[in-house]
Amino acid sequence: MSKTVLIVFAHPDPKSLTRQLTDVAIEALENQGHRVLVSDLYGMGWKAVYDDGDFPARRDPERLDFAAESSHAYETGTQPADVVAEQKKILAADAVILQFPLWWFGMPAILKGWIDRVWARGLAYGIGGTGNQHRYGEGGFAGRRALVSVTTGGPAKDYAPRGINGPLDQILFPLTHGALFYPGMDVLPIHALHGVNQLTPEGAETAKAAWRARLEHLFEEQPIRFRAQNGGDYPDHHTLADDVAPGVSGLPAHTAA
């Protein structure tokens, strides 16, 4: 069945690997019969900085409370047009792919600013004005998949379970769990291409083939089993129950075995 996929990518160079992997994905998904929407953040001149320009009809002109103004702008239909357009793309999508180079162990600022600005209160969090009642597994972006596809300069071994940088799934936990699962998306395991600084032309072709192959199962893959806030593992909505992952603390405790 035909689906809609949004690809958001963050590199300004049309010859970059980020752009090449984006083009591979567009072609592969369209060949599968899917509709592909693209947000080329650099090409669009995306405004990265979340500021008073995001709230042209302020609830409180004296005090810039981002969360309160975000609710107000969302509810009153006064969000900026670029933000509304991105929200519409996400809501139209069955899957969202983020493609970016890992910069200082996180997203390039332009992509972080896409999340900062587009994840409105009332939509991505605080839905229905009920505070944190609906988060981590349910929320305004529920019903769609998310896939983070990242390139790194350093070698894979630096990101191994005992590699010096830390494991990639833990480094990107603030994104996968904190930004994507939080508003309800089903997050797939990260797709990583390491060592791009040493990549040969053959290596690049192999990587593109692997990416193409991965995308064939985009809608069949098992998502990461992050624990839902309201699934019973967090009886008070804050803390893991004693009998859930007993003795485990830190990020790994929030993924079911």
Report the alpha-carbon distance of residue 237 to residue 229 in Å, rounded.
Answer: 6
CB nearer to a copy of itself: give 62 or 220: 62
56 binds a copy of itself (CB under 8 A): no
130 binds a copy of itself (CB under 8 A): no
48 binds a copy of itself (CB under 8 A): yes
| Distances, alpha carbon 252 to alpha carbons 34, 169, 177, 225, 256, in Å | 34, 10, 11, 11, 8
74 binds a copy of itself (CB under 8 A): no
164 binds a copy of itself (CB under 8 A): yes
Signed CA dihedral, 40, 147, 200, 195: sign only: positive
153 binds a copy of itself (CB under 8 A): yes
CB nearer to a copy of itself: give 34 or 159: 159
- Minimum distance between the CB of residue 1 and a copy of itself, rounded to whole angstroms? 32
Binding part of the chain for a copy of itself, among 28-36, 72-80, 154-162, 211-219 by CB under 8 A, reads 154-162
CB 113 within 8 A of CB 47: yes
192 binds a copy of itself (CB under 8 A): no
The backbone torsions φ and ψ at residue 96, rounded to the nearest 5 degrees and listed phi first, read: -120, 125
Q: Nearest CA to 242 among 257, 231, 232? A: 232
116 binds a copy of itself (CB under 8 A): yes
Task: Select the residue interacting with a copy of itself from 43, 56, 143, 178 (CB under 8 A).
Answer: 178
Provide the pairing of β-strand 191-193 with 145-151: parallel
Q: In a 10 Å sphere around its CB, with 0-12 CB exposed, 13-18 middle and 19+ buried, how is residue 174 labelled? A: middle
Report the alpha-carbon distance of residue 244 to residue 246 in Å, rounded.
Answer: 5
CB 126 within 8 A of CB 69: no
81 binds a copy of itself (CB under 8 A): no
133 binds a copy of itself (CB under 8 A): no
18 binds a copy of itself (CB under 8 A): no
173 binds a copy of itself (CB under 8 A): yes
Which residue's entry shows tokens 């005992």? 162
Report the alpha-carbon distance of residue 204 to residue 52 in Å, rounded.
Answer: 42
Count interface residues toward a copy of itself (CB under 8 A).
69
Which residue's entry shows tokens 């709230």? 55
* Interface residues toward a copy of itself, by CB under 8 A: 12-13, 15-16, 42, 46, 48-52, 62-67, 101, 103-110, 112-113, 115-116, 119, 132, 136, 153-155, 157-158, 160-167, 170-171, 173-175, 177-179, 182, 197, 229, 234, 237-240, 248-254
